[in-house]
Amino acid sequence: MIRSSPSDTGGDTPGEPAWLTASEKEAWTGLVSLVLLLPGRLESPLQREAGLTLFEYLTLSHISETPGRRLRMSELAYLANGSLSRLSNVVKRFEARGWVERSPDPDDGRVTLAALTDAGYEVVVAAAPVHVRAVRELVLDPLTAADQRALARIAAKLRTRPADLAQ
C-alpha cells in the first residue's frame, strides 16, 4: 500500500505498518523487478551460447577463482546462492562430464571439496566472455561511474554482497 499523504504514515492501529510513500514504492518496485528479472536476462545468453544456467556458471566461476581451483561445497553453495542439495546435484552432473572432482578436505574429513578439472576450467573460460558481455550490457554500461558506485553502496547497506552474507 502507498501512503496517500506524507502525514499518512500508518501506525494508527497498534501493529499497523508504516505504509510506503510513492517514492518508497517506486524504489521497492524497481528493486523487486531487478531481483526477479535480471537473473533470467543474465542466464539467457549463457544457456544459448555456453549451455549453462547462471547457477552452473557461478558454480564453475567461483571454483575457478580460488587458489588451487578447489572450494568447500558449503562455501560454494553460499557463494552461488543455492542450497547444498541443489549444488550437490549440479556438481554430480559436472563430475559426470569430467569438469569437477569431489574429495574429502585433507584438513577436515567431514568437509567435501569441489575441485575444478582442466576440462571444467576450459568450460568456464569459454563461458566467461558471454557472461561478462551480458553483465556489461544489462548492468554496467547503462550506469555512469557514479551510478555504479551508488549501486555498490546500496548493496553494502542492504548487506547483499557475498562477503556480507557470511556474517
pLDDT of residue 167: 46
CA distance linking residue 137 with residue 21, whole number of Å: 32
Name the CATH architecture for the domain at 45-165. Answer: Orthogonal Bundle (1.10)
Q: Compute the mean pLDDT over every residue in the chain, rounded to the nearest whole number.
A: 90
Q: Mind listing the pLDDT tens digit for each residue in 40-84?
A: 999 999 999 999 999 999 999 999 999 999 999 999 998 888 888
**DSSP H or E run through 101:** strand 100-105
Please tell me the predicted confidence (pLDDT) of residue 160.
63
Q: What is the pTM of this model?
A: 0.82
Calculate mean pLDDT across residues 121-132. 98
The rounded distance, in Å, linking the Cα atoms of 30 and 70 is 37
Which has the closest alpha carbon to 99: 84, 118, 72?
Answer: 118
Task: Give the mean model confidence (pLDDT) for residues 78-101.
Answer: 93
Kindly tell me if the per-residue pLDDT of 131 is higher than 50: yes
